[in-house]
């Protein structure tokens, strides 16, 4: 349903374009779809023009063809990360036990669990806002825990995890200030900052992963092209067999670490 007269749709497009939105027409259509009244549309356009990420304004992000709720203050799942999930779907055995560490909105875990018909989904994040958001997205599909990395997971999962997703923060501390304002200002620092070389959280995840993975199971982490060799070293020195897969179209680099059989 459209709440927007055609004449003012062009005003919305112009407002968004003036605010620097590259895809102003597409965004105007999405804002129009999200608004239930002309007043609400005005408020949504103002929030977007002020620099809030579109996903936070409309309250959802598209990921692997589904819409996931994304609250303000929660990391917006990136299109490039669809590649990590595609790799995970290909690796998942039937009735897989899936863990989504550092789950943010929970989109990765839900997409994988749904596409691979997983038997169990366990997701975890340290940020209360992310946990609330993930609980809504995960619903009855699994459990969402709040806390530091593997800390809140049930001990009964040890040695049973078939696919371990961990899209951890991996921006080097000094580079956080170079990120676009949509990320730097509107996403929590804990979702972005990966420490001095960007690999601090990945190191902690890789070090503990072998204790949770089933024989032959895999950890999947996203990294950047620049960090690729260091990330391979991190995963390999944790005792997993590392390999790199790349999608140039999505500008995505994923390191897969596989446990011994």
Ligand X SMILES: C[S@@+](CC[C@H](N)C(=O)[O-])C[C@H]1O[C@@H](n2cnc3c(N)ncnc32)[C@H](O)[C@@H]1O
Residues near ligand X (CB under 6 A) are: 75, 77, 81, 102-105, 107-108, 124-127, 130, 148-149, 167-169, 190-191, 201
Question: 206: helix, coil or strand?
Answer: helix
Kindly state the smallest distance separating residue 234's Cβ from ligand X, in Å. Answer: 15
Kindly state the smallest distance separating residue 187's Cβ from ligand X, in Å. Answer: 8
Closer residue to ligand X in complex, CB, 45/234: 234
Closer residue to ligand X in complex, CB, 30/168: 168
Closer residue to ligand X in complex, CB, 47/80: 80
Kindly state the smallest distance separating residue 176's Cβ from ligand X, in Å. Answer: 12
What's the start-to-end Cα distance of the chain, in Å?
54
Kindly state the smallest distance separating residue 166's Cβ from ligand X, in Å. Answer: 8
Closer residue to ligand X in complex, CB, 169/257: 169
Question: Which residue's C-beta sits nearest to ligand X?
Answer: 104
Exposed, middle or buried, 96 (CB in 10 Å: 0-12/13-18/19+)? buried
- Is the C-alpha dihedral spanning 112, 85, 249, 33 positive or negative? positive
Alpha helices in the chain (DSSP H): 6-18, 24-34, 38-49, 54-58, 82-91, 107-115, 128-138, 181-186, 200-208, 228-237
Kindly state the smallest distance separating residue 160's Cβ from ligand X, in Å. Answer: 20
Q: How far is CA 83 from CA 14, 95, 137, 212, in A?
A: 34, 21, 20, 23
Closer residue to ligand X in complex, CB, 25/175: 175
């Amino acid at each position: 349903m459209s709440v927007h007269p055609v004449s003012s749709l062009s005003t919305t497009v112009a407002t968004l374009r003036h605010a620097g939105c590259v895809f102003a027409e597409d965004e105007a259509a999405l804002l129009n779809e999200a608004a239930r009244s002309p007043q609400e549309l005005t408020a949504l356009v103002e929030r977007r023009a002020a620099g809030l990420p579109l996903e936070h304004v409309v309250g959802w992000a598209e990921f692997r063809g589904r819409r996931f709720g994304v609250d303000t203050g929660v990391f917006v799942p990136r299109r490039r990360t669809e590649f990590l999930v595609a790799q995970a779907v290909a690796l998942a055995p039937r009735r897989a036990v899936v863990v989504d560490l550092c789950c943010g909105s929970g989109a990765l875990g839900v997409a994988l669990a749904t596409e691979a018909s997983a038997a169990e989904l366990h997701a975890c994040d340290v940020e209360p806002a992310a946990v609330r958001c993930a609980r809504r997205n995960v619903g009855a599909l699994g459990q969402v825990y709040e806390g530091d990395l593997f800390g809140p997971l049930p001990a009964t999962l040890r040695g049973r995890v078939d696919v371990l997703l961990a899209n951890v923060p991996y921006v080097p501390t000094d580079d956080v200030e170079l990120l676009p304002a949509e990320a730097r200002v509107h996403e929590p620092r804990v979702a972005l900052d990966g420490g001095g070389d960007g690999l601090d959280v990945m190191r902690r995840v890789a070090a503990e992963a072998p204790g949770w993975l089933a024989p032959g199971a895999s950890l999947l982490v996203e990294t950047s092209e620049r960090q690729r060799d260091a990330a391979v070293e991190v995963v390999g020195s944790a005792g997993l067999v590392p390999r790199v897969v790349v999608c140039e179209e999505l500008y995505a680099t994923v390191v897969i670490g596989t446990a011994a059989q």
